[in-house]
């Protein structure tokens, strides 16, 4: 419904409603009057007020509607107009009553030396204003006055023109004052004309205005009804009913369109949000919790990630997933090719970084045996995939000699050590007691299980695991008595 006309004006039922505050309206009028006086321009600024009673009348009277539509400034005089405009999307700053704007203009005109003419009301009211207004607004120049009981508007215009005022205030009944300002204000030679209704009676003290608290609450019309019930009740009753019939459908239509637009925006936003949910988050909810988040080139980040994953290991499956994650990091393809081609040169470089982490960052600690199992599983997997296993073994030896010695090579006494360890390991599993290695260190049952878990990660048929121990030497380990056949005879 809102239609901006001139920045500070909006179309309200076809009328150019001024949406500014009273102070801005007053300052703009005073400035234009001052400029017109200095340039001697033959222009006249028209100002009117619009309230809930005048709007239905204007929509029924073409002449009144045309006069209001041609106004240079049409202020919202009445909370009914203010609220209706706001509910239709027009941002009216505040209510601008005719008497308040008149008071502000009189004070400004007194400072500028602007000559004014008072037209309308009774002669005794005008006589009183000629005495009280200059006292209240020092410096105010009243060029002339004329009562409102002359029905010939041509004569009234001539009377005003003879006084040569700069501003004209018309206190005639509506719609006569709007028509007079629209049709005869320019003939009077004034630079500004404004219809003020019954404001002269209030300024002269003949009519008491509603208390300030009633004005701020928007109940000034109720005060007028209480002061003049016989005249005001029929007037406000017919006018407010007609105003409601005119405004209510427009307000309902605007609010319905507003709610529909808000609902449409909400649906679009929800649809866009659903489409923008990252696919990775959906996959993360369906995949195991252990995923590769390590960056081998960032040493500190990789160490922190591996330590966190090791701390979360609760069962052998967790070790397998951790090995898979590290293997993905080592074999990751940085190229844009869609073909799953392994760049072994880059993979060996990443393996060197990984070995450096385990060889230095995890040199000590209670979890070293578990870390060796994880790294051993990675090396086993890579050896199975590498086209030149000896080259990969060389990489392991050059970067983690200790691990290579334990994982890839055998000493001369390894046969007896393994035989003893196999026997002691079996006894410890049966008895549940800690076991002592040949080197003298005491290792618990759980620690021994993790120590040898790397040989069973890929199953008993792992080629590398089978190559680690020579069949000729270890298929028949020495020092272990042959069990008697216990099958039934």
Residues 245 and 307 occupy one common structural domain: no
Residues 209 and 326 occupy one common structural domain: no
Q: What is the pTM of this model?
A: 0.56
Exposure on the CB side of residue 356, measured as CA atoms within 13 A = 12
Q: What is the mean pLDDT of the chain?
A: 76
Secondary structure (DSSP) of 256-275:
HHHHHHHHHHHHHHHHHHHH
Give the residue from 210, 234, 249 where a domain finishes. Answer: 249
Residues 232 and 88 occupy one common structural domain: yes
Do the domain assignments include residue 4? no
Do the domain assignments include residue 340? yes
Owner of token pair 């028509």: 179
Residues 244 and 310 occupy one common structural domain: no
Residues 191/167, Cβ–Cβ less than 8 Å = yes
**pLDDT tens, residue by residue, 200-240:** 998 998 887 777 777 776 677 777 777 777 767 777 778 78
Confidence at residue 167, expressed as pLDDT on a 0 to 100 scale = 96
Lowest mean pLDDT among 145-149, 196-200, 238-242: 238-242
Residues 396 and 466 occupy one common structural domain: yes
Helices 389-399 and 344-356 cross at an angle (nearest 10°) of 30
Secondary structure (DSSP) of 152-173:
-HHHHHHHHHHH--SEEEEEPP
Residues 201 and 332 occupy one common structural domain: no
Residues 306 and 423 occupy one common structural domain: yes
Q: Which of 32-36, 305-309, 431-435: highest mean pLDDT?
A: 32-36
Do the domain assignments include residue 168? yes
Do the domain assignments include residue 207? yes
Domain total in the chain: 2
Burial of 114: CB neighbours in 10 Å, binned 0-12, 13-18, 19+: buried
Do the domain assignments include residue 275? no
pLDDT class of 365 with cuts at 50, 70, 90: low
Residues 143 and 30 occupy one common structural domain: yes
Domain range spanning residue 427?
Answer: 299-474
User: Is a pLDDT exceeding 90 seen at residue 287?
Assistant: no
Residues 242 and 335 occupy one common structural domain: no
Residues 185 and 305 occupy one common structural domain: no
Residue 11, strand partner residues: 16
Q: Give me the mean pLDDT over the 272-301 stretch.
A: 59
Do the domain assignments include residue 260? no
Residues 401 and 460 occupy one common structural domain: yes
Do the domain assignments include residue 314? yes
Do the domain assignments include residue 36? yes
Residues 241 and 316 occupy one common structural domain: no
**pLDDT tens, residue by residue, 1-14:** 445 556 789 999 99
Residues 84/255, Cβ–Cβ less than 8 Å = no
């Amino acid at each position: 419904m809102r239609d901006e006309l001139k920045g500070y004006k909006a179309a309200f039922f076809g009328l150019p409603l001024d949406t500014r505050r009273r102070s801005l309206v007053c300052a703009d009028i005073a400035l234009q009057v001052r400029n017109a006086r200095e340039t001697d321009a033959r222009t006249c600024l028209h100002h009117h007020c619009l309230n809930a009673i005048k709007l239905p009348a204007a929509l029924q009277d073409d002449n009144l509607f045309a006069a209001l539509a041609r106004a240079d400034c049409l202020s919202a005089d009445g909370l009914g107009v203010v609220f209706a405009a706001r509910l239709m999307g027009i941002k009216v700053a505040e209510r601008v009553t005719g008497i308040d704007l008149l008071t502000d203009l009189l004070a400004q005109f007194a400072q500028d030396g602007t000559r004014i003419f008072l037209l309308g009301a009774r002669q005794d009211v005008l006589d009183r204003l000629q005495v009280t207004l200059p006292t209240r607004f020092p410096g105010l120049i009243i060029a002339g006055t004329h009562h409102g009981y002359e029905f010939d508007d041509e004569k009234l215009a001539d009377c005003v023109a003879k006084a040569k005022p700069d501003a004209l205030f018309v206190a005639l009944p509506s719609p006569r004052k709007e028509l007079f300002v629209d049709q005869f204000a320019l003939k009077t030679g004034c630079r500004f004309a404004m219809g003020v209704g019954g404001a002269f009676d209030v300024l002269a003290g003949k009519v008491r205005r509603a208390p300030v608290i009633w004005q701020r609450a928007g109940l000034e019309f109720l005060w007028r009804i209480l002061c003049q019930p016989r005249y005001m009740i029929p007037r406000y009753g017919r006018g407010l009913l007609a105003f409601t019939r005119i405004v209510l459908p427009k307000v309902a239509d605007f609010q319905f369109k507003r709610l529909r637009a808000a609902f449409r925006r909400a649906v679009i936003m929800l649809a866009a949000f659903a489409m923008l949910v990252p696919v990775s988050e959906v996959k993360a909810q369906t995949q195991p919790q252990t995923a590769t988040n390590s960056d081998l080139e960032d040493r500190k980040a990789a160490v922190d990630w591996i330590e966190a994953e090791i701390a979360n290991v609760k069962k052998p499956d967790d070790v397998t997933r951790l090995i898979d994650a590290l293997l993905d990091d080592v074999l990751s393809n940085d190229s844009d090719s869609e073909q799953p081609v392994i760049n072994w040169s880059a993979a060996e470089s990443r393996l060197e970084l990984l070995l450096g982490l385990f060889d230095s960052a995890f040199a000590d600690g209670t979890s070293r045996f578990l870390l060796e199992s994880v790294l051993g599983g990675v090396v086993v997997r890579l050896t199975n995939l590498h086209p030149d296993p000896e080259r990969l073994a060389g990489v392991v030896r050059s970067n983690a000699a200790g691990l290579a010695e334990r994982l890839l090579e055998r000493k001369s006494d390894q046969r007896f050590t393994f035989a003893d360890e196999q026997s002691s390991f079996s006894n410890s599993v049966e008895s549940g007691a800690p076991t002592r290695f040949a080197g003298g260190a005491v290792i618990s049952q759980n620690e021994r299980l993790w120590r040898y878990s790397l040989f069973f990660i890929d199953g008993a048929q792992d080629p590398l695991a089978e190559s680690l121990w020579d069949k000729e030497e270890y298929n028949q380990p020495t020092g272990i008595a042959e069990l008697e056949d216990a099958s039934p005879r």
